[in-house]
């Protein structure tokens, strides 16, 4: 395939960026999107041009670092996948593809397509932990009976890869789905009850402090989440927050 790429280029956080046009040929439909970007960068290096900076790591849909806005959608047109799992067969020969960084006040651009998502780390650090001893004389996991429904729900909440697609999809750049998933994975298990009250209050406070917007209740976050994190987590976060506020 031959493709026309419109890519956001920005030298650093303090300079203005702009869309630049690039053309690429001989794109194999079985390439991943990031492999296509690699080919483009190799061609640019051969021409003596500065390659496009973009974030990636595992390329297995696990790490959450490949955060690209592709034709206006976080991670592109496919569903249930991160950018590294998006394949070029989702596009057609001659297509124009617009590639931008995730847009949010709390995600400042570092360079080109790379944004600083450490705000999500700080939300996690505010309360995403338990005081249960996890080394040395630990209990066997089966020693504490947990209903399968609760265990499954906690597991599904914990599958969040912290990519930030929920923030990029939300018109208010809200981090509610991410924060709710982190709160839920502990709120559903007995091990998480010790810090339950402090956890939800601290994480919501940090979320607000980072400059994320309020939940819009439109559900765009769940639709664009590569792991399909459910909106039920936001409902649980609201319940946990209300309970903690009156305790």
Q: Indicate if the pLDDT at residue 50 is higher than 80.
A: yes
pLDDT at 172: 96
CB pairs under 8 A, 24+ apart, for 135-144?
144/190, 144/191
What three-state secondary structure class fits 139?
coil
Q: Indicate if the pLDDT at residue 155 is higher than 80.
A: yes
pLDDT bucket at 31, cuts 50 / 70 / 90: very high
pLDDT bucket at 114, cuts 50 / 70 / 90: very high
Q: Indicate if the pLDDT at residue 143 is higher than 90.
A: no
Class of domain 3-111: alpha beta
Burial class (CB in 10 A: 0-12, 13-18, 19+), 131: exposed
Q: Are 73 and 100 in contact (CB under 8 A)?
A: no
Location of structure tokens 């040395």 = 136
pLDDT at 135: 72
Average pLDDT over residues 18-28: 97
Q: What is the pLDDT of residues 55-100, one digit of tens each?
A: 999 999 999 999 999 999 999 999 999 999 999 999 999 999 999 9
**Whole-prediction pTM value?**
0.93
Quick one: DSSP state of residue 138?
A: P
Q: What is the domain partition of the chain in residue ranges?
A: 3-111, 117-133+142-246
Q: Indicate if the pLDDT at residue 219 is higher than 90.
A: yes
CATH architecture of 117-133+142-246: Orthogonal Bundle (1.10)
């Amino acid at each position: 395939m031959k493709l026309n790429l419109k890519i956001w280029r920005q030298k650093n956080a303090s300079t203005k960026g702009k869309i630049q046009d690039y053309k690429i040929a001989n794109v194999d439909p079985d390439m991943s999107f990031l492999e296509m970007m690699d080919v483009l960068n190799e061609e640019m290096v051969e021409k003596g041009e500065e390659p496009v900076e973009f974030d990636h790591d595992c390329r297995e849909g696990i790490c959450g670092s490949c955060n690209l806005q592709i034709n206006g959608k976080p991670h592109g047109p496919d569903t249930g996948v991160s950018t590294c799992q998006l394949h070029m067969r989702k596009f057609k020969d001659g297509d124009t593809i617009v590639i931008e960084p995730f847009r949010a006040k709390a995600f400042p651009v570092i360079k080109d397509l790379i944004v600083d998502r450490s705000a999500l780390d700080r939300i996690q650090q505010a309360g995403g932990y338990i005081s249960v001893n996890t080394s040395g004389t630990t209990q066997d996991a089966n020693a504490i009976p947990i209903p399968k429904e609760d265990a499954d729900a906690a597991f599904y909440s914990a599958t969040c890869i912290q990519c930030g697609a929920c923030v990029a999809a939300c018109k208010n750049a809200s981090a509610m789905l991410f924060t709710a998933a982190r709160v839920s994975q502990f709120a559903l298990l007995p091990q998480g009850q010790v810090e339950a009250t402090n956890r939800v209050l601290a994480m919501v406070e940090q979320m607000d402090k980072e400059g994320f917007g309020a939940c819009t209740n439109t559900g765009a976050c769940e639709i664009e989440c590569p792991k399909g994190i459910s909106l039920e987590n936001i409902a649980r976060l609201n319940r946990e927050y209300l309970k903690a506020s009156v305790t």
